[in-house]
Each structure stands twice: as C-alpha cells, then as structure tokens.
Chain A
Amino acid sequence: MGGTSPEKLTGILGLLIFFVALLGGRVAAQAPPGWGAASGEDPSGDWSPRFDEDWEERIPGPEIGDYLGLPINGAARLRGDSWDAAMVELPEDQCRQHGSDYGWRGPSQLHIWQEVDRATQRVIAYHTHLSAYGAEQTIWMDGRPHPPDYALHTWQGFSTGEWDANTLVITTTHLKENWIRRNGIPRSDLATARVHLLKHGDYLTVTVIVYDPVYLTEPFIRTTDFVYTPQSQMAPWPCEPVDEVDRPEGVVPSHVEANPFLDEFPARYGIPPEATRGGAETMYPEYQLKMKSMKRLPRPAKVVPNR
C-alpha cells in the first residue's frame, strides 16, 4: 500500500495554495474597478456629527458678509452681498435640501449602508442618509458612467465611488445649485464635487473638494468629522412649505442696493472689512500677515455675544 509521504503532501498542498491564489487573483483582476469594499474600510453604520470645527458657521449659521477663507470670485461675492435672508421664507425655498457637498455640515445623524448584488455579493453601491431634510445619496460602485449633460440635476447629484487605498473617493456631478456658505454664497449647478470618506477607528472624516468653474477661482476644501454611534436614532424630516409672509406672487427678496448689514461682521470681530470679502488669498496662513496692515472698523460700544 503506497502511503503519501509528508514531503509529497506538503508539495501538493503548496501547489494547491498556489493555484487557489492564482485563481483568486484572476477573479480579483476580472472584477470591474471599484467593485467590492475589500480594499477599504467599510464606512457602513451610524454616525453622529462632531462640531469641533466651524461651530459658528455650521450650527448658528454664518454671519452676513462673512466670506473669509472662501476662494470665491467677484460674481459669488455679489450674490452674497445681494442675498436677503428673507429668501428662505419663500414657500418654494423652505424645503430645499442641502447639496450632497454641503449636507455633511448640518446637525445630522448619518447612516451609511451597502447595496449588495445578490448573485455576486459584490457591493453595487453605498447609500447615505442624513437626517437633515432626509437627504439620501447613492454612490455607485459598479463602474457605471455618469449620465449625459442633458439629464436632470438633483440636490444630491449623481455619484460614483472607487477605493483609493483605505479612502472611498466619491465623484459627484449633476448637482443643482446650492450653497458654499449659508449666507448667500452659491455653488453653481456646473460644479463637480469630490468627497473622500476615511474611516479611522471610530471616526469618519469627510473631506469635500468643490470644483466650481462659475463661482470659485480655486478648489474649495473642507473637512467634517463624525463619530461611530451604533445606538443612534434617525428622526424623520418631513417638510411642508407654507406661506410665512403674505407677498405678491413672484416677489424675490434681495438687496437691490448695497446690503446695509455687511459691516456688522467685521466690526463685531475686529476683522478688516477687506479680509471678510474672501477670495483664494484668504485661505492661506500668510494672509494673516497682510491683514495686520489693513484698516479695521471701530468695535461696537457694547459687544453683544453672537450666540
């Protein structure tokens, strides 16, 4: 009776492992790019926002005329200057969702889940749900192309994702117009957004890069952090437009002449008015040196805490 020697067994086992590895490698090589979550850390789960960054801008809301750190052009600046906060009272504006490049900034619980192809068990898409305005974004992972330019634009846009090492990189087109900053600084519907989702431990860092050929002179980058919160609850966010103010049909509130409130922000914080006008230069640390020689407005006699 011929037995199998340990050396022979080791050789067969080695060959088997080699072929399995080869086969596995071939399967992996044949998979469409971006399929599966194997190369990155799955961001699925429930997340709560952290407001350590940019509290003033994000939660109470930005001040009128605060364009600091925004790489905007003159057209965006004028949109901000002429923006009247009464715009958000208009019934057709009350329930507008934030765009998918901005929605992360709100006081929103975040839920992320996978959509898996039942046959192959590959990840077709990630979905995100933000509690604010019930915004849901689909991030296609199956390599499908973006729609033609004559297709509908939406608040969340059309998004595709791919893994770059441990980061899920999302590219979004077909966005409706929305905010860069919630004081009238717009982001156009021709913009593209690139979002990097990076899970590190119990934290999720969302880096948003906005490329807008209409209103930005440089890409605008900002980060928002979330912490893993498996026990969180997602509240619904219905919104029903109502007539808050009786206005004639078609009225659009705006500052036709100079906005009288633009000086309040620089005066309150002792910031040179010139700096509050924003522009790419104001994003960089060396701009603080330039600010030293700029004129400032007198501070109000009694500084009322903003919030």
Chain B
Amino acid sequence: MISVRFAKAFGGAAITAAMVLAGFICATRTARAQQNPSQAGAAAAAPDYSKAEVHILPVQGNVYMLVGAGGNITVQAGDDGVLFVDTGVAQMSDKVLAAARGISTKPIRYIINTHMHPDHTGGNEAISKAGLTIAGGNVVGDIGASAGNQAIILAFQSVLDRMSAPTGQQAPTPEGAWPTETYTTPERKLFFNNEGIEIIHIPNAHTDGDSIVFFRRSDVISAGDIFVTNRYPIVDMQHGGNIQGVIAGLNKIIEIAIPAALGGNDVLQEGGTMVIPGHGRLCDVADVVFYQEMVTIIRDRVQDMIKKGMTLEQVKAARPTRDYDPRYGATTGIWTTDMFVEAVYKSLAPKQ
C-alpha cells in the first residue's frame, strides 16, 4: 500500500507510482470499493496481477472496453486493424493482448495515450511491439522501415516529455513505451476503421497531457482519468494538473456527447454517446453530468471559502466534500479526500 505519508512526502512521484496500484485496486476490487469506497485504498496490499483477469465489455459500434488491467482500456477494431486507447499496467500486457485478440486478429496499428500515468501506459511497449505500422509515404519514411515494426503510440507532447528525459539523464520509463508521435495543437484527427476519431487535448486537468478520444461513428468517448466513477478526480498538480482543467474536461465531454432525448423507443437522457471512464464502470453522459455537478459544487464551495479568507486547514476542517464522501471519499489509499480538497484549494488559491 502507498501510504498517505509517502504520497505527501513524494507528491506527484508517489501519485504516479501509485497509479499502478490504483488501477489494480479499481479493476479487481470494484465491487468491494462500491460497497465501501473508503476501503478501496486500504485493501491494496501487494497487487498480484497473476490472479487478475481482463474482461471485455462491448460498448457500441466498433468499440470495446477492457476492464481489469489497471486503467480502463478502449479498443476499436475493424478492417483496418486494431486501435487501443491506453494499455493498462505493464504486468497485464499479455492478458490484454489475449483479450484484444479475442476481439480481432487484425494488426494493432495505433495506441493513443490519454495521459502519462503507468496504469494507462504500462502496456505501451509490449502492445506496441505486437503491432505494425503501415510504412511508406511520409509515415516512418525518414527513419527507416524498421520503425514500422510496431504500432504508433500517439499522445500529447507533454506525455512524451514526462515519460522520457533529456539526453544523458535517466528516463522514468523505457524508451519502447514512449509515444512515437505527438501533437501540440488543441485537437488531432484520425480516420481509422471507417470512423473519424477526434483526439482532444484538455489543458492542465488530471495532468498537463490529457487527451479525450471521441469515436464519432461509434459514438463513444474515451475519457481517461478526467472522468472516473470510483473516487474524486485525482489532480496531479506535480504534473500540471488543476481542478479547473478537470471541470473544463468534464464540460467538454458533456458538450460533445448527445444523449437520447426524444422518448418513444429512446430512453430520455440515457444512452446515445457512451463514455468510458479512466476507472470504474461504463457510463453515458448522464453519469458524467452527475460527476461534473459534484466536482463543480465542491469547487464553488472551496472558492467561496477562499474568498472569505479561509486557510487550507480551515477549509479542510469545514469538510466541503462531506455530502459526497460516502460515495467518492477515502481516508486511506492513494487519493484521500484530504488530498483532493488540498488540490482543489491549491488550484484556486491566488499564487503567492
């Protein structure tokens, strides 16, 4: 277990390392966590991935959700091949690949990373090496055909910055796991498996390298850790995260998602665009709205307390999250309620 003290002492580094554990906890203990979310973190002793299983949940259209390998993984499959959004923890790569092969035996062409944490990028190297990039034209043409012997790993630029290191310094992740292609614009577009795919950057949210991925024909959004269903949003301030960015990301999802709303055979405000969270269960936009309302209300309360001149300790003592704590709070584990309130406060407080 990553203790609170450890997390406080090492800040973002601890959060990053603990993401691996968090993914495991969320994947294998979801039922228990939902009975009593506050026990989720405490339950994480030593993750034993040998007993973990990867489950496949068909979402809609060409898109599937893989559960159980750390952060949720999105798989889009079709005639062109297989595309992953995130790859789970490294230890689960073989099981993830086996699950993906159960969906399609076509070549793995793309991996898109929603952010840099290892519960979402840990499988990059193994899954990328199991894939192929169609080389030619201006695709890997300049660096040789051997670069085509793996799937493209695509992410926002800062994901590469965080996972690699300047020449001569020790990188936190192996080179084979690094993004091979990055973008720095607000949006990157792909067309794959007869489907338009929008990769939308959300600045300074969960981290400073977040992307949400919108499969336009399948009508599915892969949200990364901007949206999770089993805890308060983790705001990794050491890596550029900010609560305002998280809320902006949730608002963006609500903006582009369209729920069924006409009645008749369609259920009102349900279904339509499906949303795969970074952790937790499959959702639609109504679930995102509940979560966005919760985060926004807490943000507004803390903002109000800051305006009144309250210190961080006073804000914590006032417990601005207490109506949501039985659902999302935790007193132990990698992301306690206390840490969340502190992140909200520091996101909003005037810089000294």
- Chain A residues at the B interface, C-beta cutoff of 8 Å: 73-79, 82, 87, 92-93, 95-97, 133-136, 148-156, 176-177, 188-190, 213-215, 236-241, 249-252, 254, 256-257
* Residues in A whose Cβ lies below 8 Å from that of B323: 74-79, 82
Q: Choose one: A75, A95, A151; the contact of B322 (CB below 8 Å).
A: A75
Q: How far is the CA of A151 from the CA of B64 in the complex (A)?
A: 12
Q: How far is the CA of A154 from the CA of B271 in the complex (A)?
A: 8
How would residues 243 to 275 of chain B score, 1 for a CB under 8 Å from any chain A CB and 0 otherwise? 000011001001100010111100111100010
CB of B282, distance to nearest CB on chain A (Å): 5
* Residues in B whose Cβ lies below 8 Å from that of A250: 247-248, 251, 292, 296
A240-B261 in contact given A133-B268, A149-B281, A152-B284 (Cβ < 8 Å): yes
Q: Choose one: B31, B65, B270; the contact of A149 (CB below 8 Å).
A: B31
Chain B, Cβ-Cβ closest to A156: B267
* Residues in A whose Cβ lies below 8 Å from that of B324: 75
B130 within 8 A of A: no
CB of A76, distance to nearest CB on chain B (Å): 7
Q: Choose one: A74, A133, A190; the contact of B35 (CB below 8 Å).
A: A190
Q: How far is the CA of A74 from the CA of B323 in the complex (A)?
A: 7
- In the complex, the answer to whether B34 meets A153 with C-beta atoms within 8 Å is no
Chain A, Cβ-Cβ closest to B247: A250
* Residues in B whose Cβ lies below 8 Å from that of A213: 35-36, 326
How would residues 26 to 39 of chain B score, 1 for a CB under 8 Å from any chain A CB and 0 otherwise? 00001100111000
- In the complex, the answer to whether B262 meets A240 with C-beta atoms within 8 Å is yes
Known: A176-B287, A241-B261. 7 other contacts (CB 8 A): A92-B254, A95-B268, A134-B263, A134-B268, A150-B30, A176-B270, A239-B262
Which residues in window 189-208 of B have CB below 8 A to A? Answer: none
CB of A296, distance to nearest CB on chain B (Å): 27
A236-B282 in contact given A73-B326, A92-B269, A252-B296 (Cβ < 8 Å): no
Chain B, Cβ-Cβ closest to A152: B282
B280 within 8 A of A: yes
* Residues in B whose Cβ lies below 8 Å from that of A239: 261-263, 268-269
- In the complex, the answer to whether B267 meets A149 with C-beta atoms within 8 Å is no
B325 within 8 A of A: yes
Q: How far is the CA of A240 from the CA of B263 in the complex (A)?
A: 9
CB of A216, distance to nearest CB on chain B (Å): 10
Which residues in window 320-340 of B have CB below 8 A to A? Answer: 322-327
Q: How far is the CA of A95 from the CA of B247 in the complex (A)?
A: 23
Q: How far is the CA of A240 from the CA of B191 in the complex (A)?
A: 32
- In the complex, the answer to whether A176 meets B327 with C-beta atoms within 8 Å is no
B187 within 8 A of A: no
- In the complex, the answer to whether A249 meets B268 with C-beta atoms within 8 Å is no
- In the complex, the answer to whether A150 meets B289 with C-beta atoms within 8 Å is no
* Residues in A whose Cβ lies below 8 Å from that of B255: 249
* Residues in A whose Cβ lies below 8 Å from that of B135: none
Q: Choose one: B259, B263, B270, B289; the contact of A238 (CB below 8 Å).
A: B263
A150-B300 in contact given A97-B267, A190-B35, A215-B326 (Cβ < 8 Å): no
Chain B, Cβ-Cβ closest to A176: B286
* Residues in B whose Cβ lies below 8 Å from that of A256: 297, 300-301, 304
13 A/B residue pairs, CB under 8 Å, sorted by A: A75-B324, A150-B65, A152-B282, A153-B287, A156-B267, A188-B326, A190-B35, A215-B326, A236-B263, A239-B268, A250-B251, A251-B296, A256-B297
- In the complex, the answer to whether B268 meets A149 with C-beta atoms within 8 Å is no
* Residues in B whose Cβ lies below 8 Å from that of A214: 326-327
Q: How far is the CA of A156 from the CA of B300 in the complex (A)?
A: 31
Q: Choose one: A93, A150, A254; the contact of B67 (CB below 8 Å).
A: A150
- In the complex, the answer to whether A177 meets B262 with C-beta atoms within 8 Å is no
Q: How far is the CA of A163 from the CA of B262 in the complex (A)?
A: 35
Which residues in window 50-73 of B have CB below 8 A to A? Answer: 55, 57, 65, 67
Which residues in window 128-164 of B have CB below 8 A to A? Answer: none
Chain B, Cβ-Cβ closest to A87: B293
Q: How far is the CA of A134 from the CA of B290 in the complex (A)?
A: 21
Q: How far is the CA of A135 from the CA of B65 in the complex (A)?
A: 27
* Residues in B whose Cβ lies below 8 Å from that of A153: 281, 283, 287
B235 within 8 A of A: no
Q: How far is the CA of A75 from the CA of B328 in the complex (A)?
A: 12
- In the complex, the answer to whether B281 meets A151 with C-beta atoms within 8 Å is yes
Q: How far is the CA of A215 from the CA of B327 in the complex (A)?
A: 9
- In the complex, the answer to whether A74 meets B322 with C-beta atoms within 8 Å is yes
Q: How far is the CA of A213 from the CA of B326 in the complex (A)?
A: 8
Q: How far is the CA of A240 from the CA of B268 in the complex (A)?
A: 9
Q: Choose one: A97, A148, A189; the contact of B269 (CB below 8 Å).
A: A97
CB of B186, distance to nearest CB on chain A (Å): 16
Chain A, Cβ-Cβ closest to B248: A250
Q: Choose one: A74, A154, A241; the contact of B267 (CB below 8 Å).
A: A154
- In the complex, the answer to whether A252 meets B292 with C-beta atoms within 8 Å is yes
- In the complex, the answer to whether A148 meets B55 with C-beta atoms within 8 Å is yes
Chain B, Cβ-Cβ closest to A239: B268
B92 within 8 A of A: no
- In the complex, the answer to whether B327 meets A190 with C-beta atoms within 8 Å is yes
Q: Choose one: A149, A238, A254; the contact of B297 (CB below 8 Å).
A: A254
Chain B, Cβ-Cβ closest to A136: B267
- In the complex, the answer to whether B285 meets A75 with C-beta atoms within 8 Å is no
CB of A111, distance to nearest CB on chain B (Å): 14
Most B CB contacts (10 A, CB to CB) among A74, A95, A150, A213 go to A150
